[in-house]
Chains A and B, each alone.
Chain A
Amino acid sequence: GQQVMQIPQYQHVQEGEDFTTYCNSSTTLSNIQWYKQRPGGHPVFLIQLVKSGEVKKQKRLTFQFGEAKKNSSLHITATQTTDVGTYFCAGLSTSGAGSYQLTFGKGTKLSVIP
């Protein structure tokens, strides 16, 4: 079945430093979604990337989708304590029968040291 690998598993940064998490899929994806889960909270949708090579920005967050639609990254510039949480990528693949499968990566837990 489809696998989505995400690294690193944990990242500790000083406030103000940058942070990047990477996702790689074993198969070509239809799209990739990113979610953030705060400690004790539930996943919250951040963004969806659909096109090959797509780059989207949300304030200090930059999301990229690879040319082959098999990899993606999330980069946070100048981290703040409010960025703390676990970031999940989730890759969407489709089957010939028209069904969809969204597979979550294992997540990257970000800690920000004030």
Chain B
Amino acid sequence: DTEVTQTPKHLVMGMTNKKSLKCEQHMGHRAMYWYKQKAKKPPELMFVYSYEKLSINESVPSRFSPECPNSSLLNLHLHALQPEDSALYLCASSQDMGYYEQYFGPGTRLTVT
């Protein structure tokens, strides 16, 4: 199974809402990533978890809160987002950090109204 799954596929939320994005992989990968991708732009790294511990936080605003409940799951909690946060949120995993290919999920298309 080389699949990374993400739910939901689409999400519309108001600026005062709290929502969560979910990501799951069953490849035994020890590194998991959250990326943000705006239209016609490359993926922009937000967070990296390595062995269930937050390894990299690319100066992301606190309205985005990541969580890694176990080695297969990665969540991104959203609160008080801004319209400019509307984007495709991609989850990815790799065997470990560094010299390993990343497997991307299909993404969650987020619209903030």
User: Could you tell me which A residues sit within 8 Å of B by CB distance?
Assistant: 30-31, 33, 35, 41-45, 48, 50, 88, 92, 94, 99-102, 104-107, 109
Contacts and interface: CB of A to CB of B under 8 A. Distances in A.
Contacts of B43: 43, 88, 104
A72 to B, nearest CB: 15
Interface residues of B, number: 20
B16 interface: no
B99 A102 contact: no
Most chain B CB atoms below 10 A, which of A45, A94, A100: A100
Nearest to A104: B42
A43 B99 contact: no
Interface in B77-103: 90, 92, 97-99, 101-103
A-side interface mostly = strand
A45 B94 CA distance: 11
Contacts of B104: 35, 42-44
A50 to B, nearest CB: 7
B105 A42 contact: yes
Given A43-B43, A106-B42, A31 B99 contact: yes
A44 B90 CA distance: 12
Contacts of B41: 106-107
B101 A33 contact: yes
Contacts of B92: 43
Contacts of B90: 42-43
Contact of B101 (A42, A45, A99, A109): A45
A62 to B, nearest CB: 19
Given A48-B99, A104-B42, A105-B42, 4 more contacts: A99-B97, A100-B97, A102-B102, A104-B44
A107 B40 CA distance: 9
A35 to B, nearest CB: 8
